[in-house]
Amino acid sequence: MSFVNVPDGYLYFEQHGEGPDVVLLNGGLADVRMWSSTIDWLAETHRVTTWDYRDNGLSSTTDAPYDEIADLAAVMDAAGVRRAVLIGVSDGGRRALGFAHRHPDRVSRVVVAGGSFGEFPDPTPEEEAAREVMRAHFARLAELLESDGIPAAADHDVHGWCPVVPEADHRLLVGLAIANSRVLTMPVHHGVELDPPVKHRFPELTIPISVLIGAQDFKGTQLWGHRLATQAPNTTLTALPAADHMPMFSAPKTFRQLITDAVN
């Protein structure tokens, strides 16, 4: 359990195990606690670093722009991690790819599970239709925040992204979303990535990338996985029939095997 100072704030991180380095990047409404079951087995063979983004978990809050990529570099430097496999889920996949674009020498592979990148540039009709479904989800989320409050909104959000996780894991994810509800209620996200964003720069990514998509996830997220796998030059794509947005909970055995293969 450690903290590292960064411009205008600080970041919380943990390190577990010994061996080759793996860095885990959280989903947007979660924190390091989402990785507990993964760390249980991954730290048997690897040194695993987890950390909280600003406005999440035990890291500091923000009221001005900050460099997302520099934050990850600060954590890796403080943790003594020179080069690692990055595993990012949801928004963590976007952050991992941005870091790999700027610092390819520090990344041996990126695993992107349910990568979340927002609106599609120049969407196909299928992509536009899929985003309409997600816009409706976000609109209902906003309504619930206004009418019923954060717990109801968090429950709706987890149901949308993770429809097949077991009940106990659903409750965990709802609890994490409530704990990190500042992200839900902030009018502006202050994190700054590449310019232009990494979603426009997939063909420029040179490191190996493993893309995991869950067949029970939003169609829009699945299509982002296909777009990444099509455009990035050194990519493998694996579809998980039983998984949703959080495969460590919805398809834990398959997720473990795929991650074991990716980090070894």
Give the whole-angstrom CA distance, residue 132 versus residue 81.
40
Predicted local distance difference test score (pLDDT) of residue 169: 98
Q: What does the pLDDT average to over 110-128?
A: 98
Predicted local distance difference test score (pLDDT) of residue 208: 98
Per residue in 242-256, pLDDT (tens digit) is 999 999 999 999 999
Kindly report each contact of residues 31-35 with a partner whose C-beta sits within 8 Å and lies 24 or more positions away, as own/partner: 31/56, 31/57, 31/58, 31/176, 31/179, 31/180, 32/57, 33/57, 33/172, 33/176, 34/89, 34/172, 34/173, 34/176, 34/246, 34/248, 35/248
- Is residue 1 scored above 90 in pLDDT? no
- Is residue 160 scored above 90 in pLDDT? yes
Predicted local distance difference test score (pLDDT) of residue 79: 98
Query: What is the β-pairing status of strands 209-214 and 107-113?
Result: parallel
Predicted local distance difference test score (pLDDT) of residue 51: 98
Give the whole-angstrom CA distance, residue 218 versus residue 47.
32
* Alpha helices by DSSP H, the chain: 36-42, 68-78, 91-102, 125-147, 150-161, 167-179, 182-185, 219-231, 247-250, 252-263
Give the whole-angstrom CA distance, residue 234 versus residue 220.
22
- Is residue 226 scored above 90 in pLDDT? yes
Predicted local distance difference test score (pLDDT) of residue 261: 97
Is-contact 117 84, C-beta < 8 A? no
Predicted local distance difference test score (pLDDT) of residue 179: 98
- Terminal CA-CA length for the chain: 26
Give the whole-angstrom CA distance, residue 131 versus residue 120.
8
Q: What does the pLDDT average to over 194-202?
A: 98
Provide φ and ψ at 213, rounded to 5°.
Answer: -125, 140
0.95 cut: is pTM over it?
yes
Q: Give, as one character, the DSSP assignment of residue 102.
A: H
Predicted local distance difference test score (pLDDT) of residue 161: 98
Q: Give percent above pLDDT 90 in the chain.
A: 99
Per residue in 3-45, pLDDT (tens digit) is 999 999 999 999 999 999 999 999 999 999 999 999 999 999 9
Per residue in 45-75, pLDDT (tens digit) is 999 999 999 999 999 999 999 999 999 999 9
Query: What is the β-pairing status of strands 9-16 and 47-51?
Result: antiparallel
Predicted local distance difference test score (pLDDT) of residue 71: 98
Domain map (residue ranges) of the chain: 2-124+188-263
Q: What does the pLDDT average to over 80-94?
A: 98
For the chain, give the mean pLDDT: 98
Q: Which two tokens stand for residue 233?
A: 């030059």
Vertex 56, ends 68 and 46: CA angle to 5°? Answer: 75
Q: Which two tokens stand for residue 74?
A: 């600060």
Predicted local distance difference test score (pLDDT) of residue 98: 98
Fold held by 2-124+188-263: Rossmann fold (3.40.50)
pLDDT interval class at 99 (50, 70, 90):
very high
